[in-house]
Every structure is written in structure tokens, then in C-alpha cells.
Amino acid sequence: MAPAVIFIALRVDRDVADVKKFLDEKGCGGFGVREVADQNEHWHFLVETDKFKNLQSFRVNLTKSVPTLKGNASYSATAVDDEGKYERYMCKGNSDGECPEIAWRNSLKYTDEKIGELHAAYWKENMKLKKRKVGSVIDFVVDECKRDDIKWNDREKISVKYVSEISKRAKPFNQFAARSAVNAIQLQLCPDDSAIKMFAELI
């Protein structure tokens, strides 16, 4: 039986020409980018291959072909569990709007347009995470509800979003505080004074 397709996150700090030659000769697919951090030049590759029995077999063949790659100081190769997440990470570039420098490409999938889409997706997700860290849960959920067109009086959906966000932030859940928070979210989402009147009647 033929080996299964495996996705590998490969990082090399040297001899990138020999590494690319190895990937080409072995018929590997994917793409690679060049990065410079603190004046340290290195390369990241997302490798797709069915030419090796497992990750260890890939490592053995790579270091046999490029013997200068020894130890973590010069390279690392790990299995990719979330291909989409690693694609976006590789396409982050130096900053928002600056796509990465492509160092190797052997795939019809990773066109310049696709790289641009992955780059934009990375920074969109990054901004969302930053907002989640620094902003309040209420403000975050209000924005999420607006994005998903959840109406102010759909309390069930608002509550689900609020509890989900509390869980993601690993915050302690308090039922009474949650009720007050959902009330506040409804008030912010309501385009008129309907929510104010409704809550006033309950007081």
C-alpha cells in the first residue's frame, strides 16, 4: 500500500538551495517563504508528500541528502495538524499588507493570488485575537452580533455568543453577571428605545 499524504512544517537556517533541490527531486508539493528576524535569515516550508512512509523517514532522507542539516540549530521538521492555520502563518509576511517572499513553490494551489488571500486572512485573524485580548467581552460580542446580523431581541443567540466568548477567554462564569451582560449587549444592539422600554418594564 502506498504511503499516505503527510503535511510537514519544515524550517531550515542554512543550505536552502540544497533543500529545495531535495524537495524537487523527491516530487514534494507545497511552498516555502524566506524570513529575516533579528538579522537571522531562515526559511519555512509547507511540504506535502506521499513519497515517505512517515515523518521520520522524511527527516532521514533529508539529512542524508543535505548532511549539513544536523540538530535543531539548523533545521526542524514537524507534522502539520492544521494545514489551514499553518498556511496562514507562513503567509504573514513582515507586516499587514506586505506578503511574504516566496522562496520555493511546487503547487498549482499556491498562486500569488492565493498567497495574498492567506496573508489577508492571517492579519484579519490576528487583529481579532488582539481585540479579544484587550477589549471587553461585551464589546467583542456586540461586534460579533453586528457582523452576523443578530438582532437585539434574539436573546438566545446573543447568550450563546457571550457564554462562548467567556469560555474562550477562560474566564469564570457567573450566571447573574451573564444576565446583566446580555442585557447590556441587547441595549447596545437595539437601534431605537425598544430595549430600554422592555427592561424598564421589568424593573
Rg of the chain over Cα atoms, rounded to whole angstroms, equals 24
Q: In terms of CATH, what superfamily is 6-127?
A: ACT domain (3.30.70.260)
Per-position b or e across 16-42, b if 16+ CB within 10 A of its CB: bebbbebbeeeebbbbbbebeeeeeeb
Instruction: Give 193's contacts (C-beta < 8 A, 6+ positions apart).
Output: none
- Comparing CA positions, the residue from 34, 8, 32, 5 lying closest to residue 20 is 32
CA-CA distance, 131 to 129, in Å (whole number)?
5
Residues ≥6 apart with Cβ < 8 Å to 74: 12, 13, 14, 15, 68
Asked if 156 and 186 touch (Cβ cutoff 8 Å), the reply is no
Give the chain's residues under pLDDT 70. Answer: 1-2, 71-72, 130-135, 203
pLDDT reported for residue 132: 63
The residue ranges of every structural domain in the chain are: 6-127, 135-202
**Rounded to two decimals, what is the model's pTM?**
0.64
Q: What is the pLDDT of residue 59?
A: 92
pLDDT at res. 185? 92
Q: Give 98's DSSP letter.
A: B
